[in-house]
Every structure is written in structure tokens, then in C-alpha cells.
Amino acid sequence: MPGGSGVLQALPVTIFLFLLSAAYLGPGCQALWVHRGPPSVTVSIGDEALLTCEHNGSKPNVTWWRVLHGNYTWPPVFVGQGQGAKGELTIQNVNKSHGGIYLCRVHEGEKLYQQSCGTYLRVRQPPPRPFLDMGEGTKNRIITAEGIILLFCAVVPGTLLLFRKRWQNEKFGLDAQDDYEDENLYEVRPEPRRLLHV
């Protein structure tokens, strides 16, 4: 078999190099990276905003920066240090002035820092409370009651008017039949066809 023994000799060398790279290329030799994060986070005024900065650093220094609203030419403004393993930034009692783009920077040792793409913090007014705050079952019962009331308001007076008219007709003797009453005025009688002789 041509090339058979060469393939078997290359296999142990490949396995040796793979195990060597796995043993010596631990977390200290890998490049630092920062996950891009969510593109936006939406919170209501007065709520708490939580921004996370996922990275692969073992003991990094995570800082948060804010880009001034709509102005990328100015340098970002320092906001604070990230907390916990994910370098979280927590903003208590959010108001409209907190809105903007937040970047996290991860420093580890002498390596250059890595920066996230940015997360836009959108601050909204809380949704207004409905005027009549009731459940769906209550709304359905109200609609059913309205339907019954409407039925009585339309059907009962109409029926009473029909009986009143009938009573008046019987009282005044207006039951005499018209000769034309049974005739359908809208019925068109076809004219007889004439045959043309050629």
C-alpha cells in the first residue's frame, strides 16, 4: 500500500503537537476579547438599569464610558468601574439624562484594552395607567349586559308598535284587501317573441 507507513508516523506527531498546544496555551496566552453586548437596553424612568460587559479576562479591570448623546467626535466620559465577574454597571433611579451609548473597556495586565461596540440605554416614560383598570372577564360581562339592554331597547318597542298597528287595523276595519296587493309591481312580464321570417 503506497504511503501507508508515512501516515501512521505522522499521526503520533500530530497528537503530540495538539496536546502540547493544549497544555501550554492556557488562558494567559489567549487574546483578550470583549463580547459586543446587547445593542440596546430599555428602562422606564425611576427603574434600575443593568449593563453587562462579557469578556474572557481572568482578573481584568473593567471601566464604563459614556458617549455624549449624538456626539461621537468628543471623547467618551468616564462613568465608573464595572462590578462582578461580568463587569456590570448598575444605574439606580434612571432619569432622562442617563440615556446614551455606554462602552465597556477591559484592561488586563500590560495588554492593550479591548472595548465593546456599545449599548444604547433608552429611557422611556412609564406607560400610563388605564382609566378603567379591569380584567377581561369583567369587560366581557359588561359587553354582554350592554347587548341584552340593546336587544330590549330595540326589539320590545318594535314589537309593541307592530301589535298596536294590528290592533288599530282590526278596530277601524282596515282589513279589506286591495286588488293590487297580491301583485308584484316589480315583476316584469316578458313580451312574446316575434319570429322573423327570412
pLDDT digit string, tens, across residues 115-151: 888 888 999 988 788 787 788 899 999 999 999 998 8
Burial of 52 (0-12, 13-18, 19+ CB in 10 A): buried
Provide the pLDDT for residue 75: 82
Classify 144 as helix, strand or coil: helix
At 185 the pLDDT is: 57
- Residue 188: its pLDDT value, please? 62
Q: Report residue 15 as a C-alpha cell.
A: 497528537
Angstrom distance (rounded) from CA 65 to CA 198: 102
pLDDT tens over the chain, length 198 residues: 455 555 555 667 666 555 545 544 544 455 666 777 788 899 999 999 998 888 777 778 888 889 876 666 678 888 888 888 788 889 999 999 888 888 888 888 777 777 888 888 999 988 788 787 788 899 999 999 999 998 888 888 888 888 888 888 888 876 555 555 556 656 666 666 666 666
Residues 6+ apart with CB under 8 A from 113: 105, 106, 107
* Assigned CATH topology for domain 29-124: Immunoglobulin-like (2.60.40)
**Which residue bears the cell 286588488?**
179
Average pLDDT, the chain: 77
Residue 143, pLDDT score: 94
What pTM was computed for the model?
0.52
Residue 185's CB: how many other CB atoms inside 10 A?
5
